[in-house]
Amino acid sequence: MGQYYLCIVLIIFLFILLIHELIWDFRSIQKPYKRILLCLVLTLLFKYNYGVYFYGLEYEDAYAFSFCARQFLYNIFPSSFLIDAVSVGSLTEPMFTSTYGGHFIMYPTFLSLFTNIFGWSPTILSIANTSIAFFILLILSILPKNQKYWFIPPVLYCCAPIINLFTTCFLSEIFSSFICLIFVYTYFRGKSIYNYILCLVSFLVAIMCKRENLALLTIPAIEFVYLVLWKYRFNIRKHIVELLKYIPFLLIIGVYFLFIQNVFSIEKIESKDIENATFSIQYMTILFPAFIKAMFSIEAFSFVLTITIAWLIFFLIRNKRLTSDIVFPFVLFCVYLILYTSHYRGYFFIKEERVSSFETYRYINNFFYLIPLMFISMKCKFFKQIRLIACIALIFSLYTTYSLRLKMSELEYQERFKEVQMVSNYMQANSSKSVLICENILLYQNMCDDDFSVCDIRLCNKLNTSSQTDYYLLLSDLDYLKERYSLNMDLQEFYPVMVLDDGKYLYKRKN
């Protein structure tokens, strides 16, 4: 419980500091209401789903965070900074919880700030994410140095339809990218004490949200090496005080590994689960081309990337060099790309050695904000033409976003929730008290009533069987489950009652 309330304090403190700094920046801008209004319009057009829900499709990540936020309403709290979720029982009568390794509670804690007030529902969760998108656009509108082109970064952030889609899903990347953007925003701003504290807090929250955000250390590391080995190499003693500002980052890393989460322990556990290394050059040979191909998909980032490449070439030709405003986001983008493409992408990726374009999108979402950041120093003479291109791009992105949202929502229903609806309806119609034993329990925990009881198929031994309860088993490939989880189960105790798609059967336990 203490971990949850610590996350609450960090998030609230971060928002207080952020709002303070945003107000300070907007005071120095002429007609700031124009920026706020544009960001609000873009948010409402591109960053809200208007009832067309898309959780994220990918099991288990797309459903663990939303269910964790739901649990908090029932005072079911984790024992660490990782998600502990009910794996046997229901929200009203939990019997046993299990830890979802690698999934931190920071994002569902943020969601709980909304659900604790308005209740839990997909609509409330979507609104929470939409509010995050609004803050992202506000920050992007502040950063440009040329006041004439302040609209470019927020517009570009809305010109990637797949990012607009993932904004309202329940994966942690949108919240993570927001926190990372705060870090970058404060790191290169003025050096007030409030700004510096916000920078440190955002770094801590970022790595408590996703472990790969340790990549943010790239920025202070590069700057520190540059100062020590180049800029101050002949008079380093005179700048000791300035160099001391990097020490808190090391202290945060130490606290993180000692008291929050040892990343190497997570990697060790995951390595054991997949029976292979979690990082490998071999993975990169498969994943890197897949990521690059995905980024140039029309439904994803092709327009934004094409414009970015053209801008970088134009800037380099005109200035004969790249400035730090471009270098730092570009380097950090490359670091994230290398990090994600050298790390395994799930159990089935290890077995099949392939990954779909869709599976890459959610990870790109975590560092996509770095692309608009490369435009903050933009200067050119073609203002009217750029404004026209931006309007055309937004219209195309809006159409593609809505089409994509409808398409993916329907796909998720067919692949995930149609089965949930059929099974839960059958159980409610034929049993007054029942338990569903299955592999994908999170789907039912998100879609069904609070008193709907489930049991993770790996934890059947945790069930206290009763003659007054009907036990159902949802099963497709028992051999796969036995291979992956060393499952020991005898189907002779069950008989089939329903045939579902993809060769799945719903069984009922013999009384």
- Residue pair 455/463 in contact (Cβ under 8 Å)? The answer is yes
Q: Is the pLDDT of residue 347 over 70?
A: no
> Which two structure tokens, joined as six digits, stand for 505?
């059967």
pLDDT of residue 487: 72
DSSP string, 142-170: H--SSGGGTTHHHHHHTS-HHHHHHHTSS
Per-residue confidence band for 485, with pLDDT thresholds at 50, 70 and 90: low
Distance CA 139, CA 146 (A): 15
- Taking CA atoms, 248 is separated from 9, 221, 252, 265, in Å, by 19, 13, 6, 24
Q: Which range is least confidently modeled, 233-242, 302-311, 391-400?
A: 233-242
SS3 497: strand
Find tokens 């920026």 and name the residue.
35
Rounded Cα distance between 74 and 249, Å, is 36
Residue keyed to tokens 């024992």:
79
Contact 400, 428 (CB under 8 A): no
For residue 224, give the DSSP letter: H
pLDDT average, residue stretch 222-228: 88
Task: Kindly report which listed range (3-12, 212-221, 232-241, 433-442) carries the lowest average pLDDT score.
Answer: 232-241
Res 414 pLDDT > 80? yes
Instruction: Pick the closest to residue 72 from 450, 459, 444 (CA basis).
Output: 450
Per-residue pLDDT, 510: 82
- Among the listed ranges 1-5, 139-143, 226-230, which one has the minimum average pLDDT value? 226-230
- Work out the average pLDDT over 129-135: 97
pLDDT in tens, 359-412: 788 889 999 999 999 998 887 777 788 889 899 999 999 999 999 999 999 999
Question: Percent of the chain scored above 70 by pLDDT?
Answer: 96
Please spell the DSSP secondary structure of 262-281, one letter per residue: -HHHHHHHHHHHHTS-SB-H
Q: pLDDT tier at 352 (50, 70, 90 boundaries)?
A: low
Q: Where are the domains of the chain?
A: 272-380, 410-509
Q: Other C-beta atoms within 10 Å of 402: how many?
A: 18
pLDDT at 219 over 60: yes
Q: What is the structure's pLDDT at 349? A: 61
What is the average pLDDT score of the chain? 89
Residue 53 has a pLDDT of 94
CA separation, residue 501 to residues 239, 426, 441, 474, 497 (Å): 68, 15, 17, 12, 14
Q: How confident is the model at residue 291 (pLDDT cuts 50, 70, 90)?
A: confident
What pLDDT does 203 receive?
98
User: For residue 114, what pLDDT is reported?
Assistant: 97
What does pTM read for this prediction? 0.93
Mean pLDDT confidence for 439-447: 95
Taking CA atoms, 491 is separated from 107, 206, 266, 473, 485, in Å, by 39, 46, 34, 9, 17
Kindly indicate the confidence band of residue 353, based on its pLDDT and cuts at 50, 70 and 90: low
Please enumerate in sequence order all residues whose Cβ is within 8 A of that of 318, keeping only pairs 6 or more positions apart, or say none. Answer: none
Q: How sure is the predictor about 449, in pLDDT bands with cuts at 50, 70 and 90?
A: very high
How would you classify the pairing of strands 434-438 and 470-475? parallel
* Residue range 144-185, pLDDT digits in tens: 877 788 999 999 999 999 999 999 999 999 999 999 999 999
Give percent of the chain above pLDDT 90.
59
What is the pLDDT, as a whole number, of residue 357? 77
**pLDDT at position 348 over 60:** no
Query: 62 CB contacts (<8 Å, ≥6 apart)?
Result: 55, 56, 169, 170, 171
Which of 129-133, 249-253, 374-378 has the least mean pLDDT? Answer: 374-378
Phi, psi of 381 (to 5 degrees): -95, 0
DSSP alpha helix (H) spans, 73-160: 106-118, 122-142, 152-157
Q: Report how far residue 257's alpha carbon sits from residue 264's, in angstroms, rounded to the nearest whole number.
A: 9
- The rounded distance, in Å, linking the Cα atoms of 285 and 344 is 12
pLDDT, one tens digit per residue, over 15-55 is: 999 999 999 999 888 888 999 999 999 999 999 999 999 99
Residue indicated by tokens 């079911």: 76
Q: 213: buried, middle or exposed (CB in 10 Å: 19+, 13-18, 0-12)?
A: buried
DSSP 397-430: HHHHHHHHHHHHHHHHIIIIIHHHHHHHHHHHHH
pLDDT(276) > 80:
no
Confidence (pLDDT) at 476: 79
Give all strands of the β-sheet with 494-499 in edge-to-edge order.
94-104, 82-89, 453-456, 434-438, 470-475, 505-509, 494-499
Query: For residue 400, what pLDDT is reported?
Result: 94
What's the maximum distance between 2 C-alpha atoms anywhere in the chain? 84
Tokens representing 180?
């990372």
